[in-house]
Homo-oligomer: A and B are copies of this chain.
């Protein structure tokens, strides 16, 4: 576990491609939500950035870890600004919009990759397993939580009754399990991400629901 000083540097080309797709997918989900809420173009860019980088940044603040990856690799920020420009022109001229269905796959990739890499980064920072898994959950879901808070709505990850944070939790424990069993960092990352991402697609396909927390309103008042 100790021989991995820079996780991002160690990623192979294939992993890098997945990561780019996942980050851009999160950014795109921020743009779509912000545009629906009638934010102006600047606000759309800010919300896109918050959604893409917010979860990982909050994780790094909690772990007291610097520099943030978007500081170390400022290219990500330029890529985001570029994406926003392209998306704006594209949406304006073509009347083409990403449908919710089209975004399910990259979003599921993002969920798995962020959960697994967030867990692994926290383990490298000597966090106990439960805390490391929670950091994976923060990485995967708090970008969307910040997006929804700025857009003035209850975070969809906690209220749409689809498994999301719970799957990040499962993916994180998978990473811990593989590393405990002696698997390499790369294997743990791959298996953990695969578990969370495929569970996301499976649960959506089967229309599984997270139970509501039943409460009797008439009894409380």
Residues of A within 8 A of B (CB): 31-32, 34-44, 46-47, 57, 61-62, 64, 66, 68, 70-71, 74, 77-78, 88, 91-92, 95, 97, 99-100, 127-128, 130-131, 134, 145, 149-155, 157-161, 163-166, 209-217, 219-220
Contacts and interface: CB of A to CB of B under 8 A. Distances in A.
B40 A161 contact: yes
Nearest to A92: B214
Contact of A97 (B99, B160, B219): B219
Given A64-B66, A128-B74, A159 B38 contact: yes
Nearest 10 pairs of A and B residues by beta carbon: A43-B158, A40-B210, A35-B213, A35-B215, A44-B213, A40-B161, A152-B154, A39-B158, A74-B128, A39-B159
A97 B220 contact: yes
B150 A152 contact: no
SS class, residues of chain A in contact with chain B: helix
A147 to B, nearest CB: 12
Contacts of A57: 62
Given A130-B77, A131-B74, A150 B161 contact: no
Nearest to A155: B150
Nearest to A166: B42
A150 B152 CA distance: 9
Contact of A213 (B40, B71, B209): B40
